[in-house]
């Protein structure tokens, strides 16, 4: 697998990363190397093997459906780059 610059820009768009042209060229080469290394997986015989998503065989624990968190809205909003009247501010979305 070898990445073209256009392909890298497409993946970067999906990942919401702004890349300059030079960066994209650099990443195209490096990501191609990485995927070539990953390509070794093809040689493993995995016929009939169950995919493993998690190291422990465990079930999702359930807890009573009660409120446990306190309201810390102001503490959390104090960390935001821009807030106004308790709302997070972003550039205008609707024209």
Of the residues 21, 64, 86, 91, which one makes contact with other proteins according to CB under 8 A? 91
**DSSP SS3 for 42:** helix
On whether the CB atoms of residues 6 and 27 are closer than 8 A, the answer is no
Structure tokens at 40: 């070794």
How many CA atoms lie less than 13 Å away from 81 in the CB half-sphere? 3
- What does the per-residue mask of binding to other proteins show for 14-53, with x meaning CB under 8 A? xxxxxx---x---x--xx-xxx-xxxxxx-x-x--xxxxx
The residues binding other proteins (CB under 8 A) are 8, 11-19, 23, 27, 30-31, 33-35, 37-42, 44, 46, 49-56, 58, 60-61, 63, 72, 75-76, 79-82, 88, 90-91, 93
């Amino acid at each position: 697998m070898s990445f073209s610059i256009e392909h890298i820009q497409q993946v970067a768009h999906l990942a919401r990363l702004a890349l300059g042209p030079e960066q994209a060229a650099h990443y195209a080469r490096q990501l191609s190397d990485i995927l070539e290394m990953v390509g070794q997986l093809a040689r493993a015989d995995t016929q009939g093997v169950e995919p493993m998503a998690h190291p422990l065989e465990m079930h999702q624990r359930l807890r009573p459906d009660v409120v446990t968190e306190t309201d810390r809205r102001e503490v959390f909003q104090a960390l935001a780059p821009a807030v106004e009247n308790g709302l997070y501010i972003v550039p205008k979305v609707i024209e």
